[in-house]
Structure 1
Amino acid sequence: MEGILPYAVAAAFVAALATHLMVPPVARLAVLLRALDHPGERKLQTGAVPRLGGVAIALGLLLGGSGAAVSLWGRIGTAVGRGELLALAFGTITVFLVGLVDDMVGVSAAKKLLFQLVAAWPLVHAGWAFEVLRLPLVGEIHLGLFGGLVSLLWIVGVTNAINLTDGLDGLAGGVVAIISVSFLGYAMLQGNAGTVILMAAVAGSCLGFLRHNWEPARVFMGDSGSLMLGFLLAATAVHSSLKAPAAVAILVPILALGVPVMDTLLVMAVRFLDRPKSALLDRFLRMFHADRQHLHHLLAHFGGERRRIVALIYGVVLSFCALALFVAFTGETTLGVALVVLEFAVILTMRQMGMVMEARRLSRLQREEIKAEVLGLGSAAEPRTGGVRRIIR
């Protein structure tokens, strides 16, 4: 696999450069099309921001990944057949287009979920599915017909977990870049050249985009970018698990994707348990309602620069991605299980700390409102919001 490294570096460089150069014209196009993300109750920005950055990321991915793939074709085995490539391309294009339409005119959550299932099914049908779960201390669990369902839930779940990470400037792009580099290293251990090239292109495109998305962001990747990147990471995790021994097959992707996935699962659990007296169907539907309960929202209550919050989440993701590679290299499944538990505990602790700070903030606001009413001052003025942010020329 030594011969693959120059191609991976080239794919990352071309993807980064192409994405970086494409962002300004794409952002100006978004302004013309009024594809803007405006401030709102669940959003932390102060002004309208163009949100078609996913188009630039897709172009960077296409140029970087396809160029290296064509150069490598027939030289190094990719362990991926034509049918699998077509299924992956179909799914990626489908979620990208759904996200693009959502960025421009809006798409309901139910329709997005339906199209995500449509995108994932050909890939599962092509063989990218969990057929056997190898769990430590339990052994092999043959899923049979349930393997396809589990795989669909995994792909759709991870896709949306990455999508929901896109809540702070630079957060989703950096998190995806870190995870994709860890998957690249995992693919190197497996000798899977195709995954190495794909993940190199993903990492490069994200890094090229971050130059424009770092706070204060001049453009957002939008659902077109976050759904596409989430789908690629989810599919790569499934494919990599098919070629790994024992329990490492499931532990490595869980560790690498743990922060966004576990945070999303905890948020959904909170929504479900929030109204115990409501009808079961209502509680189930509430699990998919948007709110400000994700990790990055809760950590924002600590105050300070949001860049530090992003850097903190980067650090946590990077740490567990590095540990995932260590587990893959050593095959220490018991350690892997312990690290998954530790990762869950870390995320839960960070969320609880954020909730405590939120409760204190709300209590302080209530005291200020009561004081204002008593003194006859009225409520505090609403914060001002800015206009469309300057687009890079």
Structure 2
Amino acid sequence: MKTNLLIYITSLISVALSISPLITIAIRKRLFDAPSEDRKIHKRIVPNLGGLAIFSGFLFSLAIFIDLSTLKVANYLLSGGIVIFMIGLKDDIIGVDPMKKFIAQFIAAFIITIMADVRLMDLGGFMGVYELSYPFSIALSVLTIVGVVNAYNLIDGIDGLSGTLGLIFSLVYAYLFFIAGELGWTSVCLALAGSLTGFLIHNISPARIFMGDCGSLMVGFLAAVLSIQFINTSSGNIIDLGFTSITSAPALAMAIVILPLFDTLRVFAIRIVNNQSPFKADRNHLHHRMLALGLTHMQATAVLSVVAAIFIATALVFQSVGSNQLVGILIFMIILLNTALSIYLFSRKISLKEELLDESPQFNESVKLPMIAKVEDDSKTFAEKILDKVSKN
């Protein structure tokens, strides 16, 4: 317990103290995120190398305190992490082609799944699947890692959000691994939690520094690896938390990453239906929609973090119902949340347009009609847009 506390405090202090000098260097070298794109929310120049401090603090605390005998895959975890971190750092500094980023992510995923043998081996009956064949295990694990990496990268859009979500999952996994007796993985979680805590001190709105791709990609990478390892740890073992026992680990792992995953799948689907590239940047993420409600960055981060915590708490409380039923509950909850948010935003848009028309008597019918038509077009549901697309083809 003492070592775990030292790991957390060391990473926290090292990151918190290194950020200010890093900001100074980044500004002098013009290594910052300028508000040059429509999708950018911030209005001023902000250094985007926070991930450099996070990764350095993470490695520093582990190098001092971790017992390598408790984490036999440490070298592979480090190797995969470096690949992810370096491609993210390069993207932050000079930009990287999306395909090269994907290649780097797949390389890191293969290091973890094939060389470290950290892969999904048994789903414990989820969707009727138990033990996985080796090829299918590798394929599913690689896709899981790449998917989660990109989900955390895409949700890093407002002050504090990605760091707070990362802090939540790292503390939850630290607790679960500690109870399960996996001390090495507990150390990894606490090193990440400390680093993110130190970073968030400087990322509270208005942020002095951003995480950048080197940070968000690494956080997503660790989220994926920890989720896979947790499922493996719980397979065939009963992790007794006192108030409940972990019997539906895949569902709990899904609950921990469901918010960024759902957000990514949702925006990809919308872009495809609108005949756009799924990788085209826009302002349609959950955090953008929260800002559209009139919330500040910190309020939006707080709301989404509470929602993430509710999903995790739900998965813990309903462990006894089984993975299939629990995943169904989680999916119903996230769809209900998204539907309620969509209805509210749409009704608010209609109200604002009606107010604009009422307050502008100089608008004649030739102006009003196109605006009303646009409102009616916007009112189409996601399903209707899909049907329109199919009928045109």
Q: TM-score, normalised by structure 2?
A: 0.82
Match of 1:120 among 109, 115, 125: 109
1:134 aligns with 2:134: no
SS in 1 for 2:82: helix
What is the aligned partner in structure 1 of residue 193 from structure 2? 203
What is the aligned partner in structure 2 of residue 49 from structure 1? 46
Structure 1 gap segments, 5+ residues each: 276-282, 375-393
What is the aligned partner in structure 2 of residue 271 from structure 1? 271
How big is each residue's C-alpha offset from its partner over 1:281-339, in whole Å with a ceiling of 9 and x where there is no partner?
Answer: xx6xx1222211110011111114222111101101122223344456x6854663344
Match of 1:173 among 163, 167, 176: 163
User: Which stretch has the larger CA shift, 292-301 or 137-146?
Assistant: 137-146
SS in 2 for 1:133: strand
Match of 2:231 among 227, 230, 241: 241
What is the aligned partner in structure 2 of residue 35 from structure 1? 31
What is the aligned partner in structure 1 of residue 378 from structure 2? none
> Structure 1 residue 274: deviation in Å?
2.1
What is the aligned partner in structure 2 of residue 381 from structure 1? none
Determine the C-alpha separation between the residues in 2 that align with 1:214 and 1:73.
34
Determine the C-alpha separation between the residues in 2 that align with 1:342 and 1:203.
30
Higher relative contact order (CA 8 A, sep 6+): 1
What is the aligned partner in structure 1 of residue 280 from structure 2? 289
Identity of aligned residues (%): 30
What is the aligned partner in structure 2 of residue 61 from structure 1? 58
Determine the C-alpha separation between the residues in 1 that align with 2:348 and 2:296.
16
Contact kept, 8 Å, 2:155 with 2:263, in 1: the verdict is no
Determine the C-alpha separation between the residues in 1 that align with 2:266 and 2:55.
30
User: Which stretch has the larger CA shift, 341-350 or 180-189?
Assistant: 341-350
What is the aligned partner in structure 1 of residue 308 from structure 2? 317
> Structure 1 residue 52: deviation in Å?
0.7
> Structure 1 residue 364: deviation in Å?
7.0
Match of 2:140 among 150, 171, 177: 150
Check 1:137–1:236 CA distance in 2 against 1; reply closer, same or farther (3 A cut): closer
Contact kept, 8 Å, 1:133 with 1:143, in 2: the verdict is no
Check 1:342–1:183 CA distance in 2 against 1; reply closer, same or farther (3 A cut): farther
> Structure 1 residue 273: deviation in Å?
1.9
Match of 1:26 among 22, 25, 50: 22
Contact kept, 8 Å, 1:255 with 1:339, in 2: the verdict is no
Determine the C-alpha separation between the residues in 2 that align with 1:18 and 1:38.
27
Determine the C-alpha separation between the residues in 1 that align with 2:29 and 2:362.
43
Check 1:128–1:372 CA distance in 2 against 1; reply closer, same or farther (3 A cut): farther
SS in 2 for 1:145: helix
Contact kept, 8 Å, 2:126 with 2:250, in 1: the verdict is no
> Structure 1 residue 359: deviation in Å?
4.3
Check 1:12–1:322 CA distance in 2 against 1; reply closer, same or farther (3 A cut): farther
Contact kept, 8 Å, 1:53 with 1:219, in 2: the verdict is yes
Contact kept, 8 Å, 2:122 with 2:129, in 1: the verdict is no
| Count of aligned positions | 352
What is the aligned partner in structure 2 of residue 108 from structure 1? 97
Structure 2 gap segments, 5+ residues each: 237-246, 365-393
Determine the C-alpha separation between the residues in 2 that align with 1:198 and 1:301.
36
Please tell me the root mean square deviation across aligned C-alpha atoms, in Å.
2.6
Check 1:31–1:125 CA distance in 2 against 1; reply closer, same or farther (3 A cut): same
Determine the C-alpha separation between the residues in 2 that align with 1:251 and 1:366.
46
How big is each residue's C-alpha offset from its partner over 1:245-300, in whole Å with a ceiling of 9 and x where there is no partner?
Answer: 3762311210111111111111111122223xxxxxxx6xx122221111001111
Determine the C-alpha separation between the residues in 2 that align with 1:268 and 1:362.
28
Check 1:130–1:351 CA distance in 2 against 1; reply closer, same or farther (3 A cut): farther
SS in 1 for 2:234: coil
